[in-house]
Amino acid sequence: MFDPSVDLKEQVVEHRRTQILLGAAKVFAEKGYHKATTKEIAQTAGVAEGTIYNYFNNKRELLLAMMELIATQSLKSIVADNPPADPKEFFTMILRDRYQLVEQRGYLIAPIFGEMFSDVELRQEVYRTIAMPIAAHIEKYIQAHIDSGLFRPVDPVITTRMFVGAIIVNFAMKLAGLDPRYEDISADALIENLVSLFLATLLKPEPPAA
């Protein structure tokens, strides 16, 4: 027999979990991961401190879940759930998603990435649990197009890292104001140029006309 209360309970649980994660994001952004306490996170989220442990075993688990919610949830829908067959559309969607993330929520994740450089264990765990699964989907996509004959026989792992590196460097130049020459380049133009350069590396050249 269908029990509508079950679905409602699941919604309440998911809402409370998200509430805690967003509270954690604010505290981590203000104080950094190591200085943040679960008491402060609970106060910011508007829940009792004990409630946090109903959802997360420790602060590190909370951090990883927060990073996944803010940094990778929208990207998973592109690269994993139903990736478009057209490579131009695929890479454009990824770049637009990442640009919006940095533009709208960069202030939340930047402090965490800063701490990752001084915490080897944290860096390895974030890379293993968050970055690697996403990269694996992109590598799989590239390999599928190599197998179909559309892409050159490149190394998917190296090519994916090149793609990610280009995103990080160019978005930092644009959004962090590291290079004033980027001020006159619109987001659309930047994304279009990056996708064009990436596809020029990947796509096999058209055979010469007979």
pTM of the predicted model as reported, rounded to 2 decimal places = 0.80
Residues 6+ apart with CB under 8 A from 48: 42
Give CB contacts under 8 A, 24+ apart, made by 50-53. Answer: 51/16, 51/20, 52/20
Q: Which residues of the chain have pLDDT under 70?
A: 1-6, 208-210
At 208, which amino acid appears?
P
Residues 6+ apart with CB under 8 A from 30: 36
Q: Is 203 helix (H, G, I), strand (E, B) or coil?
A: strand
* Residue 144 exposure: Cα atoms within 13 Å on the Cβ side: 12
pLDDT at residue 37 in the model: 93
DSSP for 147-191, please give it: HTTSB-S--HHHHHHHHHHHHHHHHHHHHS-S-GGGGGS-HHHHH
| Cα separation, 79 vs 88, whole angstroms | 13
| Cα separation, 156 vs 125, whole angstroms | 22
| Cα separation, 3 vs 141, whole angstroms | 40
Which domains are present in the chain? Answer: 1-56 (1.10.10.60), 59-202 (1.10.357.10)
| Cα separation, 22 vs 16, whole angstroms | 10
100: number of Cβ within 10 Å = 12
- 119-137 burial, b if ≥16 CB within 10 A, otherwise e? eeebeebbeeebeeebbeb
pLDDT at residue 191 in the model: 96
pLDDT at residue 39 in the model: 94
pLDDT at residue 33 in the model: 86
pLDDT per position as a tens digit, 22-57: 999 899 888 888 899 999 999 999 999 999 999 999
